[in-house]
């Protein structure tokens, strides 16, 4: 993807703060971090989101995210870490190249990642459960 900013960053065309790199992934510091040590795991291969990228690259990207989570937790003296991965504008995705956020957390920090619960009846829950499981099998 010639006009994709994360393709250019992942493949080294645009220099940035790289905390980890191998032949398939680059992990960078987020330019507008939610907290100190907020990292983004970028596959070097382009796929707009989780639906467009092959399963092996997605699962290997999460394995990299685990390694980064352990490193930022120790190096930033974090108490916890959020792993966040947005797919589609409706889900808050702003850059159309699959990426995983790794956000170190401390109690009392200013990061807000929160959703209010919706109300569902038992029947609605059963219908939802069936719709999803039918789609998997």
Provide the binding-site residues for ligand AMP, judged by CB under 6 A.
Answer: 5, 16, 28, 30-32, 40, 86, 92-95
Q: Which of 26, 38, 97, 105 binds Zn ion (CB under 5 A)?
A: 97
Nearer to ligand AMP, 40 or 65 (CB): 40
Q: Which two tokens stand for residue 2?
A: 């010639």
User: Integer distance in angstroms from the first to the last C-alpha of the chain?
Assistant: 33
Which of Zn ion, ligand AMP, none does residue 50 bind (CB under 5 to 8 Å by kind)? none
Q: Where are the beta strands (DSSP E) in 30-137?
A: 39-43, 80-84, 100-105
Residues forming the active site: 99
Nearer to ligand AMP, 17 or 126 (CB): 17
Nearer to ligand AMP, 59 or 94 (CB): 94
């Amino acid at each position: 993807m010639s006009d994709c900013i994360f393709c250019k960053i992942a493949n080294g065309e645009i220099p940035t703060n790289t905390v980890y790199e191998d032949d398939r992934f680059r992990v960078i510091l987020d330019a507008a971090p939610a907290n100190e040590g907020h990292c983004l795991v970028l596959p070097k291969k382009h796929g707009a989101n989780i639906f467009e990228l092959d399963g092996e690259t997605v699962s290997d990207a999460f394995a990299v995210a685990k390694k980064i989570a352990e490193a930022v937790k120790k190096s930033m003296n974090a108490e916890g870490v959020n792993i966040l991965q947005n797919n589609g504008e409706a889900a808050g995705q702003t850059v159309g190249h699959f990426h995983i956020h790794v956000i170190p957390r401390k109690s009392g920090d200013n990061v807000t990642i929160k959703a209010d619960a919706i109300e569902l009846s038992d029947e609605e829950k059963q219908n939802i459960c069936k719709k999803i499981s039918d789609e998997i099998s």
